[in-house]
């Protein structure tokens, strides 16, 4: 039975890591001018925008590998809180054209990162126990 738990943890880590990595690769290819703009508009130092590379490239790689996945998932959670704050701060409870909250995707990543934190990386990870 525990085998299934470890497979579920692996699927969760792979799903979150791969999907978040797509966002990071987009930032590498297209730059972070949009994130810089959001950061500046929020009254924060522009250099904080570079943290998106950590949160959307390095952290997903750690989660994928199961290398300090709990710590990495905390960084992802912080990244998602900042994304929600910066991009949707005034419209947290607004519904999109299909009836879902506009913060659906970053909120989903936030929740899944918290789940990874509580579950850990499982048996199929670089630093499994």
- Secondary structure element (H or E) that encloses residue 116, with its range: helix 104-119
Q: Are 67 and 49 in contact (CB under 8 A)?
A: no
The DSSP annotation for 72-89 comes to: HHHHHHHHHHHHHHHHHT
- Report the distance separating Cα 129 and Cα 68, nearest Å: 11
- Report the distance separating Cα 38 and Cα 34, nearest Å: 6
Instruction: Look at residue 2 in the predicted model and tell me its pLDDT.
Output: 63
Task: Identify the CA nearest to 21 among candidates 50, 64, 73.
Answer: 64
- Which residues of the chain are under the pLDDT cut of 50? none
Instruction: Look at residue 98 in the predicted model and tell me its pLDDT.
Output: 86
Instruction: Look at residue 97 in the predicted model and tell me its pLDDT.
Output: 84
* Prediction pTM value: 0.90
């Amino acid at each position: 039975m525990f085998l299934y738990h470890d497979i579920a943890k692996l699927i969760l880590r792979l799903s979150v890591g791969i999907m978040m990595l797509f966002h990071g690769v987009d930032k590498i290819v297209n730059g972070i001018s949009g994130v810089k703009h959001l950061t500046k508009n929020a009254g924060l130092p522009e250099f904080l925008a570079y943290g998106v590379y950590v949160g959307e490239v390095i952290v997903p790689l750690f989660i994928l590998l199961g290398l300090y996945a709990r710590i990495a998932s905390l960084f992802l959670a912080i990244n998602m809180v900042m994304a929600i704050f910066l991009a949707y701060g005034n419209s947290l409870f607004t519904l999109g054209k299909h009836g879902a909250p506009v913060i659906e995707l970053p909120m989903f990543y936030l929740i899944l990162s918290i789940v990874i934190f509580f579950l850990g990386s499982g048996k199929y990870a670089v630093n499994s126990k």
